[in-house]
Amino acid sequence: MIVTCVYVHVKPDVVDSFVNATIANHRESVKEPGNLRFDFIQQADDPCSFMLYEAYESEAAAAEHKNTAHYNRWRDAVADFMSEQRKGVKYIIVEPSDRTRW
């Protein structure tokens, strides 16, 4: 399993537009064959800060996500919404160590 946390800071005047575009991306991303989880969260004390928690079965499935039409629509739609470049951080799963649970 591959987990990536994507940290995004958006401009205050486009928060609603960012949320709408990202919800559309989320709804399609969870339908991808290799997707295990795709959470879209907003920081409680900073409404301009968001995180996407993306879990995929493999590196290949995570890479394929970036080839989907919905991801490319999202990427293009939100490019000018960000107050700084988004940052994706890859993680490895320590626990649960039982891969049959994934």
Domain boundaries, the chain: 2-97
Greatest alpha-carbon pair distance for the chain in Å reads 44
pLDDT digits (tens, 9 = 90+) for 10-69: 999 999 999 999 999 999 999 999 999 999 999 999 999 999 999 999 999 999 999 999
How many residues are listed for the chain in this entry? Answer: 102
| Antiparallel, parallel or unpaired: β 35-42 and 87-91 | unpaired
Report how far residue 2's alpha carbon sits from residue 91's, in angstroms, rounded to the nearest whole number.
Answer: 7
Looking at residue 1, its pLDDT comes to 85
Is 101's pLDDT higher than 60? no
Looking at domain 2-97, does it have CATH number 3.40.50.300?
no
Predicted TM-score of the model (pTM): 0.89
